[in-house]
Structure 1
Amino acid sequence: MEDEPSEFTRRLHAGFGVSASTVVETARRATGEGVRACERIVRGHVNEVYRVRTDSKTFFVRIDRSGDADFAAEAWAMGEARRVHVPVPDVVLVDRARDDEEELPVMVLSALPGRPLADVEAELSPVRLRAVLTDAGRLLATLHSVRTPGVWKPEADGRWNTWDEIRDGVLAERRSERPELRSAGLSESEATVVLELVARCVDEYPWNDPVLCHGDFVPDHIFVDDDLRITGLLDFGMFHGGPPVSDLAYLRLVRPDLNQDGLLAGYGVSAEDREWLRQRDLHAVTHAVGYVAHSVRVGNAVQTAAYVRSLRSLVDDLRQRR
């Protein structure tokens, strides 16, 4: 939920960093070319990312710092997207790299042509923005044509869980985050209402037919050319098997200011479909609880406040839509 790196993000990234020689060697190993330039990109809270210019092309070197990333699974998701003609970066390398005494997971990707929609969004008229968002909705519908073997992400042994296997755990985890909701500024009654909405979402909308969800479907990750044609979708690090509504629910949470009518039109959903909007917003509330809790735990006050504002807006919208 940040256009430029926040102070929190800068402090986080200042606490780690591999040597330049490790980045250069990883890029050389992946591409077989010499490295002419290397620039660190301070964004996000999970990966260390470098833009690398070789003799002929631009690549991105991503280094997992969370211990949670599964670059092989992410490469699988990107391959599935490519199979249905969703343009994504080429995966050049998935491996491990040694830096001093650490051995870290690395992924090297080709650069997409164009630039993020987020970079030009403010310059566009409402009509032009709606047009490109309609195209983005069509692209998302295509991505969601991919069925996943199960829900969420594959286990270490490659097995996917069913919704019945994780349902109770999802609900229990969200309920366990009541203290973080209270720490974020929600009253006891607000937290109770929010968790009742989560329970309603889990009960009424099971993930019985999971599809490939991008997980972070925002304008920052939708690339366009100078004519506003979509050139690709990047950053599948938060991909998962889930309900089709999940990606637009996440977008509703992190970009409450963005009018989704164009996206919905491209996706094939009417903006007047109250039941679909209710399902989206209940899923967004469920997302929100986890994100508020995480932001509280890591001490990101700015992001916590933004999530809480969005969460309260969602609760109000659901109340009015009864």
Structure 2
Amino acid sequence: MAVTNPPGLDLRRLRDHLDAERPGLVSGDLSADVIAGGRSNLTYAVTDGVRRWVVRRPPLGHVLPTAHDMAREYRVISALAGTDVPVPPTVLLCEDPDVIGARFYVMDFVPGTPYRTSEELRELGAERTRAVVLSMIDTLVDLHAVDPASVGLADFGRPEGFMERQLRRWSKQLAASRSRDLPGIDELHARLAAALPESPEPTIVHGDYRLDNILVDTDDRITAVLDWEMSTLGDPLTDLALVVAYTSRELPADSGVSNVREAPGHPAIDELVARYAERSGRDVSALNWYVGFAFFKLAVILEGIHYRFSQGKTVGEDFDRIGEVVPTLVTGGLKHLAQD
């Protein structure tokens, strides 16, 4: 029977590699589907008819420098196994791009729902939605409480000068994907650079922490935190600020990015921030700067996706409106900086 390969994944070559590196793991022909919802790395659900796995690889076509680091993602997920942070069990990392055309890794398939829309949350009802979102904040506190050295991640990043380097990095990423005029984005960058905060004690940071990067089971328990491609050691308030940005009214509800805040029962931003501050003991008084940075970072990420879409190098649906969201993110970033 012919094997149908999804874009970017040669199942025969994947099977041969798994047989060589993990003999006996696979018991039959592989089939796969692209997992919808990802905007950056490509994610596939793979099965041999008995077991299920997930394969992650970089996107097709234009890839930004330093982005889409498979080894980094694999390392942090493996390190967090056994902590209070739920992650999928890892299976294999392949750094040879000749196997399927890119570096990739394999992890176990973990059941659960990544809630991406308010419509999905409405089915839970207000009380359950509230509990799930608050559990997301509690899990973020758990992540930031992990001692990096205790899980072998003491050298996972360079916390000193973290925010300055982050701002510089995302400015370079913007330049690498810039193909059109984006009014206000240079002003946003300049205002961020002029008011860099002093970071608290560094922690493991996720880098793209949001509800649809989390799997929730039928008992409303978080079963796994996903998409660790931007994780590092750094300023924990960057993760909290991303939660705020994704929950903010500045992000259009019909943008195709996130509208979970519209669901009945979803806690307000002030409650989410207060819960994090109380449980973590961290000072969040400078959070508006971090939210401004979060909007800048999201604008750069989405501009990169828009650039790939304009080249016909994306896989999946709902990419056609991504470019329209970027100016709104710039406006949101400037608005939050003006509040300080």
Shift of 1:236: 1.3
* Structure 2 Cα separation of the partners of residues 182 and 20 of structure 1: 35
Q: What's the secondary structure of 2:215's corresponding residue? A: strand
State which drifts further: 226-235 or 282-291: 282-291
The equivalent of 1:243 in structure 2 is 235
The alignment partner of 2:86 has SS state of coil
Using the alignment, how far apart are the partners of 1:88 and 1:266 within structure 2?
23
Q: Deviations over 1:165-214 (max 9, x none)?
A: 8836834863895898893542xxx345413331144x2234x6321111
54, 60, 73: which one pairs with 1:60? 54
Provide the residue aligned with 1:221 in structure 2. 213
Is 2:112 the counterpart of 1:114?
A: yes
User: Does the aligned pair in 1 maintain the 2:157–2:232 contact within 8 Å?
Assistant: no
Rounded Cα–Cα distance in structure 2 between residues aligned with 1:200 and 1:139 = 32
Gaps of 5+ in 1: 1-12
| Alignment match, 2:138 | 138
User: Is this contact kept in 2: 1:184–1:305, CA < 8 A?
Assistant: no
Tell whether the 8 Å contact from 1:216 to 1:235 is kept in structure 2 after alignment. yes
For 1:91 and 1:179, how far apart are their aligned partners in 2? 32
| 1:38 lines up with 2:44 in the alignment | no
Note if 1:20 corresponds to 2:19: no
Aligned residue identity for 1:104: A
Deviates more, 1:240-249 or 1:273-282: 273-282
Partner letter of residue 144 of structure 1? H
Q: Secondary structure at the match of 2:32?
A: strand
Correspondence for 1:164? 161
Q: Deviations over 1:226-272 (max 9, x none)?
A: 121211212212212221111232233445353445543542359xx
Equivalent pair of 1:19/1:99 in contact (CA under 8 Å): no
Q: Percent identity?
A: 20
CA contact (8 A) 1:135 1:263 kept: no
The TM-score, its normalising length taken from structure 2, stands at: 0.70
Secondary structure at 1:204's aligned position in 2?
coil
| Structure 2 residue aligned with 1:303 | 322
For 1:20 and 1:176, the matched residues in 2 are separated by 32
C-alpha separation between the residues in 1 aligned to 2:174 and 2:106?
A: 35
Cα 1:282–1:51, aligned 2, differ >3 Å: closer, same or farther? Answer: same
Cα distance in structure 1, aligned partners of 2:111 and 2:170: 40
User: How far, CA to CA, are the matches of 1:71 and 1:62 in structure 2?
Assistant: 8
Greater percentage in strand? 1
> Residues 127 and 180 (structure 1 numbering): CA distance in 2 closer, same or farther, change over 3 Å?
same
Say whether the 8 Å CA contact 1:35–1:55 is kept in structure 2: yes
Equivalent residues of 1:214, 1:239 under 8 A apart: yes
> Stretches of 4+ moved more than 6 A in 1?
178-182
> Cα gap change, 1:127/1:312 in structure 2, threshold over 3 Å: closer, same or farther?
farther
**The structure with more helix, counted as a fraction of residues:** 1
Aligned with 1:312 (options 327, 331, 338): 331
In the aligned structure 2, how far is the partner of 1:166 from the partner of 1:185?
23
Mapped to 1, the partners of 2:272 and 2:236 lie a distance apart of: 13
Count of residue correspondences = 294
The whole-number CA distance in structure 2 between the counterparts of 1:61 and 1:288 is 24
Distance 2:204 2:303 in 1: 25
CA deviations on 1:281-320 (whole Å, 9 max, x unpaired) are 233244245335534644476223213213313422443x
* Inter-partner Cα distance in structure 2 for 1:20 and 1:137: 37
Provide the residue aligned with 1:196 in structure 2.
Answer: 190
CA contact (8 A) 1:136 1:263 kept: no
Give 3-state SS (helix, strand or coil) of 1:167's partner: helix
2:12 partner amino acid: S
What residue ranges of structure 2 are gaps of 5+ in the alignment? 249-258, 262-267, 311-318
